[in-house]
Amino acid sequence: MKAQVLLPKVFNFPFTYNLKQNEKIGDLVEVPFGSKKEIGVVWKNSYAEPKNIKIKDIKRRTGYSIDKKLINFIEWFSAYNMVSIGLVLKMVIGGTDKFIKAKDNESYFQKTKKKKYILNQEQLNSLKFLEKVNGKFDVSVLQGTTGSGKTLVYFERIKKVIKKNNQVLILLPEIFLTNDFKLRFEEFFGFEPAIWHSKITPKKKRIIWNGLISNKIKVLIGARSALLLPYKNLGLIIVDEEHDTSYKQDEGVIYNARDMAISRANFEKIPIHLVTSVPSIETYKNILNNKYRHTNIIKRYENFPLPDTKIINLNLNKIKNKFISSETIDLVKSYTDKGDQVLFFINRRGFAPYLICKKCGFKQVCSNCSLYLTYHKIKNKAVCHHCSFEKKINTKCKLNENCEFIMYGPGVEKIYEEVKDIFPEKKINIFSSDYLKKKEKTKNLFKAIKENKVDIIVGTQMISKGFNFPKLNCIVVIDADFSGRGYDLRATEKNIQLYHQLSGRAGRFSKKSLIIYQTLTPYDTTLNELIKNKSENLLKNELLLREKNKLPPYMRLISIIISSKNRGLSLQGARELKIKLNQINDLEILGPVDSPLLKIKKNFRSRLLIRFSNRFLMQKKIMNVLNGLKISSKIKLTVDVDPINFA
C-alpha cells in the first residue's frame, strides 16, 4: 500500500511512499528524500500520485502522531494565508531529525512559592461568564480597564481547565513580556510555566515539544509560533492584549496569530478568550454583532482611580532647543519629591530620527532602503531600522568639507540626556528594545523598577504593554501625535489602544496619579475623547469611517508586493499580474503603485491591493492565478492576507 507524506519544506503537496507498518494519517515518520532522511507526517490521500516514478519506502515510525483536527487546521491555515502547506507543517514539527527523535526526560518546570488572591465581585462575575461555555467552540472577550485584574480572572479560569487534565495556551504579543508575566504566573499557580518563543534554546524547545505532544505540560505561554504546536489535549486558548498589532507576523510565513488562534479553537472545538482593555476594531464589530460574547470589568483592582490628565499645549509653551516644557518639569517634581516613579514616553528609538547637513542639505538615508537613518548615540552610528545597516557619520559635504549635521526630532536617547540634565540626582534608566536585548539585563531592570530602585524611566512603546510597576504614578507623553502616517489605515485605532494602555501603567496602586500629554494639537478629537475615557465612541466613529471607505472589517484586503532590484521590472511585473487577476470575478484590483517605503534591502517595491466582499474567501482563486504565472527570477512576490499597514 502507498501513503502520502507531507514534508516540512516549501512544497505545497505531499510525496508518495510505500507503507512499512500500516502507518496511519498523522503519524510522524522518517522517509528518504534525495540523499537525506527527513521527518514528515503521513497525510490525507487526496493528492494525485506521481506516474512513472520509483516509489521509495517509509523508513520508520517515530512514535509520535498529530491528530486529524490539527491536520485540518494546517490545511486551512495554508489556504487562508496563501502559504505552502509544507512551511506550515515546519512550524508544527520543527522540521529537523534531532528535534523529533530526541527523548528528553529532564524537566525544568519547578515548584515555586505561591500567593493567595481573592477576586472582587466584578472579577467573579466575569469569571462565571467565561465559564458558561465548556467543551465547545466559543469566542468570549474579557475586556477591562487597565489595572482591573483581567489576568487574575483568566488565571482562575485556567486553574479549573487544567484540573480536568486539559492544556491551555496563553498567547502574548511580544517575547519581552514573558519574563514579567512568568513571575505573575508563578505567584498565582506555584509552578513554572513552559515558555515558547524564538529565543529559547533548542534543548528547551525539545523538552516543551515532547511535553506538549504527550500532555505532560499543561500550560504554555508563548509568542505567535506557539499557536502551531502539537498539543495533545488543548482545552482553552487565551489571547492576551488581543488588539496588539504585534500578533501580525510580517516576514516569512505571514499571518495574524490572533485570527489564526480563533480558527484553531474552532477546529479544536474549544473556547477562546480574547483579553483587552480596548478591543481591536474587528473584535469590537463582532461584539456589536453578538458574534462574540463580551464581559467588561469597569473598576480597577481595589478601586484605585485612573490617572488624572493634563494637556500641555506646546504652541504656547515654547521650549528652546529642549523637548520637556517647564510646566511638565514642575508637575513631575511634585511626584519625584514624594518618591514616586515617573515615565517619560517617546515612541522613537535612538537619539535623533533625522540628520541633515546645515551647509549643503545632505540627508543621511539608508543605501539599501528609502528611509532616513536614525542616529544612535550609544553606538555613535546612524542605523536603518529596517535592514539594520549602520554607518559612521563622516560624509564629505558638497562644498568638500565635512558635513555639519543637525539632528532633527528626539529619540529615546535624546530625552534620556535631557531628563538627566533636569534631574541629575535621580536614578534614570532607558526602557527600549535597543537596551534590553540581553535576557539578564531585562530581568535586572524589571527587578530594579519593582523594588523602586529606579526613579525615572525613559521608554518607548514596549513599556505600554502589560507591565505592572507599583510605584509608577506619573507619565509624560513627550509628543502626543495622532496624525498617523498616511499609509496606515489603523493609525487612529492604534493610537486609541496605545495611549489607553499607556495611561494604565500609572496609578495601579495609588489614589493619585497623572498622565501629561505634551502636544502641538491640543484640540485633537482622539486625544480629548481619550482623556474622557470615551474610547468606545472613538471605535464607533472609526467603524463608520471604515464602512464608508470600504475598508476592513467591512471588506477583505489582500496586499501583493512585487519587488525587484530593478524598479521598472517591479512595476512591469505588477501590471502583468493585475491583468491576470482582473480575470477573476468579484475582485477589485487597486494599483499598481510604488509602496510608501519604495526600497527595502536594495529591492524596489510595487504594490497591488485586492479588495473583495467579506462574504467570499477568494484566496484559492487568487492562488490559482499566482501558481499559473511565469515569473522572472528577478522578481519576488510577497502576499499579505489581511494587511495591518501599507508600507
Instruction: Point out the least confidently predicted range of 24-33, 45-54, 293-302, 358-367.
Output: 45-54
Residues of the chain with pLDDT > 70, as a percent, come to: 95
Instruction: Point out the least confidently predicted range of 24-33, 494-503, 620-629.
Output: 494-503
Q: What is the pLDDT of residue 186?
A: 93
Q: What is the pLDDT of residue 39?
A: 93
Q: What is the pLDDT of residue 92?
A: 94
Q: What is the pLDDT of residue 532?
A: 79
Q: What is the pLDDT of residue 103?
A: 56
Q: Which residue has the higher pLDDT, 424 or 403?
A: 424
User: Is pLDDT at 637 greater than 90 in this prediction?
Assistant: yes
Q: What is the pLDDT of residue 27?
A: 94
Q: What is the pLDDT of residue 301?
A: 76
What tens digit of pLDDT does each residue of 528-587 get? 888 777 788 889 999 999 999 999 999 999 999 999 999 999 999 999 999 999 999 999
What tens digit of pLDDT does each residue of 42-92 get? 998 877 777 778 889 899 988 899 999 999 999 999 999 999 999 999 999
User: What are 86's three cell numbers?
Assistant: 509544507
The model's pTM: 0.92
CA 390 to chain centre: 26
The C-alpha atoms of residue 333 and residue 339 are separated, in whole angstroms, by 10
What tens digit of pLDDT does each residue of 357-401 get? 888 888 888 989 988 888 888 888 889 988 889 888 877 777 777
Backbone angles phi, psi at 511, to 5 degrees: -80, -20
What tens digit of pLDDT does each residue of 443-487 get? 787 788 888 889 999 988 877 776 778 888 999 999 887 765 556
The C-alpha atoms of residue 436 and residue 440 are separated, in whole angstroms, by 9
Q: What is the pLDDT of residue 548?
A: 95
The C-alpha atoms of residue 610 and residue 590 are separated, in whole angstroms, by 6
Question: For residues 472, 474, 477 and 478, what is the CA-based torsion angle, rounded to 10 degrees?
Answer: -110
The C-alpha atoms of residue 464 and residue 345 are separated, in whole angstroms, by 9
Q: Which residue has the higher pLDDT, 593 or 466?
A: 593
Residues of the chain with pLDDT > 90, as a percent, come to: 55
The C-alpha atoms of residue 451 and residue 467 are separated, in whole angstroms, by 14
What tens digit of pLDDT does each residue of 126-147 get? 999 999 987 799 999 999 988 8
What tens digit of pLDDT does each residue of 490-534 get? 888 888 888 888 887 787 777 889 999 999 888 888 888 887 777
Q: What is the pLDDT of residue 440?
A: 65
Compute CA distances 331 → 314, 319, 337, 459, 474, whole Å. Answer: 15, 16, 10, 19, 9
User: Is pLDDT at 170 greater than 70 in this prediction?
Assistant: yes
Confirm if 153 and 240 have CB atoms less than 8 A apart: no
Output the average pLDDT for the chain: 88
Looking only at the bridges linking them, the beta strands covering 588-600 and 603-613 are antiparallel
Q: Domains in the chain, start-ordered, CATH in brackets?
A: 2-99 (3.40.1440.60), 121-300 (3.40.50.300), 304-348+410-546 (3.40.50.300), 555-641 (3.30.70.600)
The model's confidence at residue 152, banded by pLDDT at 50, 70 and 90, is: very high
Q: Measuring CA to CA, which residue among 244, 248, 275, 234 is closest to residue 139?
A: 275
